[in-house]
Structure 1
């Protein structure tokens, strides 16, 4: 009798484990075919960067074991394959490149494993992470995603609130198979090329509803810089035809610890204001950078605000930027088609070692994207995005950002199993 009871308990426990951990498991294969073509218009030593590759990201996300505290495991396997890359045109951060021969690797890959624990609406993850916060986030702007190694806790136990706390020690860049120390971006010589193996980040976001939120975040990149921000985003209905959109962020950054990257002193205001009517959205944006240095951020990624520069970051010391953008949803002509055009100009740039203290830069950017609608069988999940930019500045030729014409084409498809 005791054996039967024990056997019944084991079977019941096994079934609960299967139902929660195994049966809730999700798997997907994301593929990206990516072409990058940057033609410099004013230099001849490196006339162009051209790389074309195919990427695959296979992801398995388990469910959680039963009980008050649930345990799970996620895994990612990523691989990239060269389709075209001449040795005199590499360096687009699509593929790993031999620093001596400048040859791009024929293939590369990486595997990530993430353990996870969940209690109520609080989840802890440890291992391979792809954070998504305004102070650190995993960039997907090339072939394969940038990943980090560390621990992150996210909680939704407070109504309408997302709280995030994290610690990172290594990064696996978009064009690499190996983990390395976290590095500050030194674009245009703003900071020394310093690294760290320790950073903390955290913050919260409170949603009044799906269109209106406030938040605050902070990061301490050990011995490099500290950064804090407050943010607000809203979508206000003016009448039956018009909506007023706002997206505001204020960052303040300073030095930390040993100051390995040199001085850091920057306050950045990023504001975007838009009007939406039907399929049309008209936006005016501005960046105001003050302090003794430019804006600090992590190497290998971008900054998570409205101004998504294609050929530049618009984050130089004392730079004042304004931007005009028009978005239109073309679903009345082709369902799933969207188009955007933006003009951005930065003035008052302070780069004495790169040409002066009143430099300028500007960029035209065009974005056309088509996503196959849900009702189209088999092809749902396919997305094609084309970006074209025309960029100019009056910096010295040795600057990180040089005048160019740039084309990017990405074809994404996701299978869900």
Structure 2
């Protein structure tokens, strides 16, 4: 298991600082601290719809694993400048896998044999400093910004090492800036230099196997009122791409228990020296809420010489990025229809349902000829116990079907059992 040197250094520095402060000053540091333990039991089955005979192609990915996530978040020491420390420890254990079924993203694989390892995990620490309404964090980070969103869709989350500043000095205005140096992927315990996603029919050249040792980001969001929020963010993966992202979210109350939410996004990505990245992404999601019902309609369009650019392993901030696909290939246009229902509306809190269908076409297949087409269907059913001895225990089933004329057809099921307990 490899730990980021930066994370180890800031953890020791923050701990040393707290130990030298008087007990009175440390009071808020301890009193405002909290710790949780999350248990995740994850079964993953993806039918790649490939016959392993007579060719040796892998026909499916099927694994079962148990995850443990211990999170600690301190308060801040008292005074004009407050100091704090956050930490996360993760452990993933193999319950079932095989050399012909690995690669689901649940478990770390041996780089030589490709087989899933029996266990993997990491420890990360984050030192933090607070002045007024501004907080600087250095160490292990899991950003959730339009230009970089750490992935947490498997057993253990993706993490980054670096520094980030978040400031809310002006009411309604949130400012973010920072630099990421390396990442630890969701199925890894090693920190590595960052890669750029190049899969699918993106037509991106010059990026395969090329690593970057920094990602700079900055931006702001402003909440004009309870109904309207706008934002701008910038990100640059060294020598690979630069990206500008605009977002507008508006919620229009219509009547009692009725509303229309508009989420409109625009991104412009260009190369940063070594690639041919050239993409404009326009995407929007409109959701009509009626009691426990929500009806959504989404549209996404890619234009330019390439598809959408983002850091390998992260979640792209696109409305049509769903369970399997991102519908972000060169020239692709895609639509989404979605339906959600919250059973709390009929007296069953904790039970939710979601289904959606997406279709994309006009994908540039280059010399392959005709334009590419694909579609995906997702269904989620989840229940979280609200009371009794199983309170906070969650069960979720996720199903997906993908069909394409330029990539593998896929059938997928995920069963996730989760339980989070507060330690203090």
Alignment TM-score, normalising by the size of structure 2: 0.90
RMSD after superposition: 1.5
Alignment of 1:315-326 (within 5 A): 315-326=328-339
Counterpart of 2:382 in structure 1 is 369
Q: Do residues 109 (structure 1) and 121 (structure 2) align? A: yes
Match for residue 253 of structure 1 among 269, 283, 286: 269
Counterpart of 2:280 in structure 1 is 267
Match for residue 352 of structure 1 among 366, 369, 374: 366
Note the C-alpha offset of 1:315: 0.6
Note the C-alpha offset of 1:292: 0.6
Counterpart of 2:219 in structure 1 is 203
Contact 1:164 1:202 in 2 (8 A): yes
Match for residue 416 of structure 1 among 416, 419, 422: 422
Contact 2:214 2:238 in 1 (8 A): yes
In structure 2, stretches of 5+ residues that fail to align are 1-20
Distance between the aligned counterparts of 2:214 and 2:369, measured in 1?
A: 35
Contact 2:47 2:412 in 1 (8 A): yes
Per-residue CA deviations over 1:222-264 (Å, capped at 9, x if unaligned) read 100000111001110122353111111000000003x1xx200
Distance between the aligned counterparts of 1:385 and 1:210, measured in 2?
A: 31
The count of aligned residue pairs is 394
Note the C-alpha offset of 1:369: 1.2
Alignment of 1:389-400 (within 5 A): 389-395=400-406, 399=407
Distance between the aligned counterparts of 1:297 and 1:388, measured in 2?
A: 25
Note the C-alpha offset of 1:274: 1.6
Distance between the aligned counterparts of 2:198 and 2:51, measured in 1?
A: 21
Note the C-alpha offset of 1:289: 0.5
Per-residue CA deviations over 1:26-58 (Å, capped at 9, x if unaligned) read 111111111111002245311101111111111
Counterpart of 1:7 in structure 2 is none
**Secondary structure at 1:340 match in 2:** strand
Contact 1:88 1:102 in 2 (8 A): no
Distance between the aligned counterparts of 1:294 and 1:71, measured in 2?
A: 43
Change (3 A) 1:85 1:209: farther
Distance between the aligned counterparts of 2:201 and 2:101, measured in 1?
A: 23
Moved segments of 4+, more than 6 Å: none
Q: Do residues 226 (structure 1) and 252 (structure 2) align? A: no
Per-residue CA deviations over 1:303-327 (Å, capped at 9, x if unaligned) read 1333242222211000000011111
Per-residue CA deviations over 1:342-367 (Å, capped at 9, x if unaligned) read 010000001225x3351100011101
Counterpart of 2:196 in structure 1 is 184
Contact 2:99 2:114 in 1 (8 A): yes
Note the C-alpha offset of 1:211: 4.3
Alignment TM-score, normalising by the size of structure 1: 0.91
Counterpart of 2:12 in structure 1 is none
Distance between the aligned counterparts of 1:178 and 1:241, measured in 2?
A: 48
Match for residue 132 of structure 1 among 130, 144, 148: 144
Contact 2:201 2:330 in 1 (8 A): no
**Secondary structure at 2:114 match in 1:** coil
- Using the TM superposition, name which of 18-27 and 338-347 deviates more: 18-27
Change (3 A) 1:297 1:356: farther
Counterpart of 2:169 in structure 1 is 157
